[in-house]
Structure 1
Amino acid sequence: MDPREFWGKSSKFWLCLILLFAVLLGFYSQDTHSVVLQRMQPEKKESSERDCHLDTCRIPEVPRLVYPKAQLLKPTRVDVLVMTPWFAPIIWDGTFDSAILDAQFRNITVGLTVFAIKKYVVFLKLFLETAEKHFMVGHKVNYYVFTDQPANVPQIPLQEGRQVVVLEVRNYKRWQDISMHRMEMISNFSQQRFLREVHYLVCLDVDMKFSDHVGVEILAPLFGTLHPGFYRGDRQSFTYERRPLSQAYIPRDEGDFYYAGGFFGGSVPEVYRLTMACHQVMMADQANGIEAVWHDESHLNRYLLYHKPSKVLSPEYLWDEHMLQRPPLLRKLRYVAVPKNHAEIRNR
């Protein structure tokens, strides 16, 4: 055979082989790409369901409303601080329009967690009755009642779209242990059901009552409430945990505000992160034989120092009329303490 004929046939053979290989490689790449996409899509969907909330995922559509125009050069409050250094609003009466906010948050469900353990169950009836009058009126609400006495949870009339969910939990001998284990219980149930059932969580003390409007103006990815005893104070007066051995330790040259342990919340993923983190550091303290000075409240303050809340609620949202004189700047008292004998309630 002529060498030129042989090399001509060989070239055609190798060219066909190369083209076939390229075609197969293209199909393989497309198949592989489709498999990767199929594997990634469920993870993306799961992430959006768990971590997405109204504040960051979309701009809510608001229907046509008629309301007064805000005056740029005439702020509604000049007697109080209305913005933190990290641009989080501080919520006072006169700084928001409920009609706009209700329209913006019209399709959400709010979960409210409250602990009625041991003798604290006696506060539950007044708590729920006043919540029905003032808390998230017009919106869907799940009241999550953590209790060791399910039979003693009162039956009260509820607005449409609202329900009481009784979650039976154990009690503890010391009130301090009950207080600290709240973080563990909220984090566990957030993972088990709250992520699927509600958009936001509001975590409250039960020995209180609602006395005025508390609505969607409080909702944010993460919010805390100024403690009524320290809102005027400087950081040196705050009762932070000052022992470096504790995981709740805050140095004396740090601190923004002193937050109350009886009113905090946010989107369910953020509350889950907060409560899980606080529970873990409390367990670390326990292993080291130390207990923070104000228990879960101390750890909450440490967390909110390094994870800045996106809203801060003024003392309007947590007040004790029997221990504190009401200043003129508090136009409304929205959530107030109920008179009680602390020693009798806590130690039995």
Structure 2
Amino acid sequence: MISEWFDQSKRNQIWVAPMAGVTDRPFRTLCKYFGAGHAVSEMMTADKTLRMSKKSLYRANFDGEIAPISAQIAGSDPEQLAEAARYQVANGAQIVDINMGCPAKKVCNKLAGSALLQDEDLVARILDAVVAAVDVPVTLKTRLGYLNGQENIMRVAKRAEQAGIAALALHGRTREDMYLNTARYELIKQVKAHINIPVIANGDIDSPEKAKYVLDYTGADAVMIGRAAQGRPWIFREIAHYLKTGQHLVAPSIEEVKTVLLGHLSELYEFYGEYSGCRIARKHIAWYTKGLHSSNEFRQNMYRVESTLEQAKVVEDYFNLLLDQGQNMDDVQIESVNLLEI
């Protein structure tokens, strides 16, 4: 199935990276609307005692999602992961993705995510168990290694291919790097040259030019976009157009951004309900408005809003003000957003 997507359309060279707390069903659907060929869910624990928690049920909600549906699972016990894979397939997943890339301390402390790269024997047992457990493609998301200077991705990649992994998504950092330093693409290039399954390059891909550079340099079959899509889902449209034509699309208008954001909010409210929908939407609003005129003042006011109805009105009023002032997306300034306030 994976190889068929690459053959069918170059659109599938652009994937959405799984991001905890971000790539829920509304976000995945929006990214696919803008041209992403594939989107992987937020990671879901393999611990069955947590499977029915409210958070897990939201993450495993694929109702009405545009195919293909990919469910990412995380854990450290091969049998638990195999059972989790079967559960997600029964739940509608058409692909199972194994998380060996998350660098978060709370995940690594349980010897899951990128911490697994310290134990290649355990990695092999997990890969074999999950691939054998289901009749759908199994993919792997991982990093260059656990520590800088001890990158073991080449051995892990070859073992993944041997186990029957259908595609490998590779972030160009080690766990030690977290999200600091610069993503390194040389090892991704080497991995691609030495295995025969699709390789998806991930890390610091934030523009059409960068996407083309990474594809050309590494020879990867696709690129995976993560943080650059936060508040900017049209990046998939921009990259697809640039790869096809070598030309840049005009930046979206303030009117389009307003329409996209309000539509995104509506989906979040419907998906999560009044209380959680209002609070989860705050980070997305912050990302969409980053760099716009007087956006910091707007966000401080927006954070205090407690209802979805009022939140949507505050957002609409802010964008109407920008339109009245004749603002456009070319005026956007580079700005950091402190989401710790949310």
TM-score, normalised to structure 2's length? 0.29
TM-score, normalised to structure 1's length? 0.29
Structure with max Cα Rg: 1
Q: Work out which structure has the larger RCO, using CA pairs closer than 8 Å and 6 or more positions apart in sequence.
A: 1
Greater helix proportion: 2
